[in-house]
Structure 1
Amino acid sequence: MQSPSSTGILVTLAVLACTGLLGWWWRRRDGRLRRPAPSTAPAPAAALAGIGVPPGVVTLVQFSAPVCAPCRTTRRVLTQLRSDLPGLHLIEVDVEQHLDVARALDVWRTPTVLVVDATGRVAQRAAGVPSADALRAALTPLLAEAPR
């Protein structure tokens, strides 16, 4: 049997290192709340109204799909937050049925959670399963500012 060449070993190690770094980056980014980039899509407010986001209410909008396993985890997190934080509204949107809205709001994967403030502006967003603590920290000041 022939011994592996040093070039082959180096290429294998480089591929493994790159894969490890990519996995680390993805896990670090997954579910993290971030401020949305300025949208070039026409009328995100109209898209939000089209899926039933009520005016004057802080709302969590979850975009999900029937075959999405992380969507079930996200649903449990959001449902628990809704019961813990009075005045919070929750809407789940099936991306297969509302693909036009998903495109207008720049949703590219499921689950995606949008935190919509009382003025109807998307204040935060997360692609992946967000942590309950991060959502609570983002929602508390928005709920305090919301009209009652």
Structure 2
Amino acid sequence: MSGVADPTGLVVAAVVLLAATAFGLVRRSRDGRLRALRADGPLRLTARDLGQSLGDRATLVQFSTSFCATCPGTRRLLTEVADGTPGVRHVEIDAEERLDLVRRAEVMRTPTVLVLDRDGRVLRRASGPPTRAEVASALELATVPTAA
């Protein structure tokens, strides 16, 4: 027996700690970011799907649950943005009650925010609470008139 301790346990612990830190940093960097989606993508939501009419220019769809800690803040933000932007509507969907839409929209966590164009095509998506600036930017892109 030598007096030198085996460093294997320390190396394993250090690798696990580094991997967990990297995962957390990547997840935080993507949290709430509104990502662009293809306009010709398969997901399109209608007024019937949402239980409310679509906005004349865009619709902000928020999937929430009763146990979501950040959903109330996201609701306030999206309501303020929609109220201050002509032709934009905010629709909140209870993910626990509308599992059909949760599956179609592939919602994995709440809040999930979808930005729809006037025809109901999903153009942007965020998993987690978006910032006001990101929502405003997404709305600008969603409401740009298309060339005929």
Structure 1 residue 84: Cα displacement = 2.2
CA distance in 2, matches of 1:144, 1:35: 14
Please, what TM-score do these two structures have when normalized by structure 2? Answer: 0.84
Match of 1:51 in 2: 50
CA distance in 2, matches of 1:5, 1:128: 43
Structure 1 residue 23: Cα displacement = 0.2
Q: Say if 2:78 is the partner of 1:78.
A: yes
Q: Say if 2:123 is the partner of 1:126.
A: no
CA distance in 2, matches of 1:129, 1:60: 13
CA distance in 1, matches of 2:83, 2:137: 16
CA distance in 2, matches of 1:130, 1:123: 15
Q: Say if 2:115 is the partner of 1:115.
A: yes
Letter in 1 for 2:14: L
RMSD (Å) for aligned C-alpha atoms: 2.3
Q: Aligned in 2, Cα 1:79/1:17: closer, same or farther, shift over 3 Å? A: same
Q: Which has the higher helix share?
A: 1
Give CA deviations for 1:116-143 in whole Å, capped at 9, x if unaligned: 1012111101010011101101102433
Q: Aligned in 2, Cα 1:55/1:69: closer, same or farther, shift over 3 Å? A: closer
Please, what TM-score do these two structures have when normalized by structure 1? Answer: 0.84
Match of 1:14 in 2: 15
Structure 1 residue 21: Cα displacement = 0.1
Structure 1 residue 54: Cα displacement = 2.4
What is the identity percentage for the equivalent residue pairs of Structure 1 and Structure 2? 39
Match of 1:36 in 2: 37
Structure 1 residue 55: Cα displacement = 4.6
Structure 1 residue 4: Cα displacement = 5.5
Letter in 2 for 1:50: D
Unaligned runs of 5+ in 2: none
CA distance in 2, matches of 1:69, 1:4: 46
SS in 1 for 2:90: strand
Letter in 1 for 2:110: T
The count of residues paired between Structure 1 and Structure 2 equals: 141
Are 2:55 and 2:89, in contact at CA under 8 Å, matched by a contact in 1? no
